[in-house]
Amino acid sequence: MFSEGFFKGLVVNYFMEDCIFCKIASEEITSYKVYENDGFFAFLDVNPRNRGHTLVVPKEHIRWVWDVEDIGGYMEVCRKIAMAMKKAFDTEYIACAVLGEDVPHAHIHLIPRFPKDGHGGAIKFNLIKSFTDGEMKEFATLISQNIKK
Ligand SMILES: [Zn+2]
């Protein structure tokens, strides 16, 4: 007989193998990396809704943001990045969103807002901006350089 834990382990492994955010966080897949510490990893969204649009994920495969045990540490990382974005892009307004539908690995969106950025009162998630590889690298560098260690 197999224990319930055995099957849970199988399910977790099955999803992790195919999880793109697990692969990004372990740097198996390269990304426009912004920041990492022991528990969390931040990188640019490849479907940016504005310049600098960043996703912050736990390194561990966790489905929902609210299941991240160190939620305080998670928020500290988000705050650190948001503060760096304010400097990097000279804006006061950093939008934050938890949606969770697109990839089944907890992630928080941090999106710098600008006057007349086309989004209006709320982020239009179907409004995807286009930036060159060089621009994306520049955004990631700008944010990471402004992060307080
Ligand atoms: Zn994952």
Which residues are identified as catalytic?
107
**7 belongs to a structural domain:** no
Q: What is the pLDDT of residue 11?
A: 52
**12 belongs to a structural domain:** no
pLDDT, mean of residues 13-40: 89
Find out whether 19 and 61 touch, Cβ atoms under 8 Å: yes
- Alpha helices for the chain (secondary structure H): 4-17, 20-25, 71-89, 133-145
Q: How far apart are the first and last CA of the chain?
A: 50
Task: Please give the structure tokens belonging to residue 75.
Answer: 């928020």
If we measure between CA atoms, which residue out of 113, 52, 51 comes closest to residue 42? Answer: 52
Model confidence at 4, pLDDT cuts 50, 70, 90, reads low
**115 belongs to a structural domain:** yes
**4 belongs to a structural domain:** no
List of residues 6+ apart from 29 with CB closer than 8 A = 20, 23
**26 belongs to a structural domain:** yes
Going from the Cα of 95 to the center of ligand 1, the distance in angstroms, rounded, reads 24
**1 belongs to a structural domain:** no
Going from the Cα of 105 to the center of ligand 1, the distance in angstroms, rounded, reads 5
pLDDT, mean of residues 95-117: 93
**9 belongs to a structural domain:** no
Going from the Cα of 58 to the center of ligand 1, the distance in angstroms, rounded, reads 8
Q: What is the pLDDT of residue 41?
A: 98
Going from the Cα of 115 to the center of ligand 1, the distance in angstroms, rounded, reads 34
Model confidence at 149, pLDDT cuts 50, 70, 90, reads confident
> How many domains in the chain?
1
pLDDT tens digit sequence for 43-77:
999 999 999 999 999 999 999 999 999 999 999 99
Q: What is the pLDDT of residue 18?
A: 86
**11 belongs to a structural domain:** no
Give the domain extent around 36. Answer: 20-145
Going from the Cα of 46 to the center of ligand 1, the distance in angstroms, rounded, reads 17
pLDDT, mean of residues 86-94: 98
**In the predicted model, what is the mean pLDDT of the chain?**
91
CATH number assigned to the domain comprising residue 97:
3.30.428.10
- pTM for this model (two decimals): 0.88
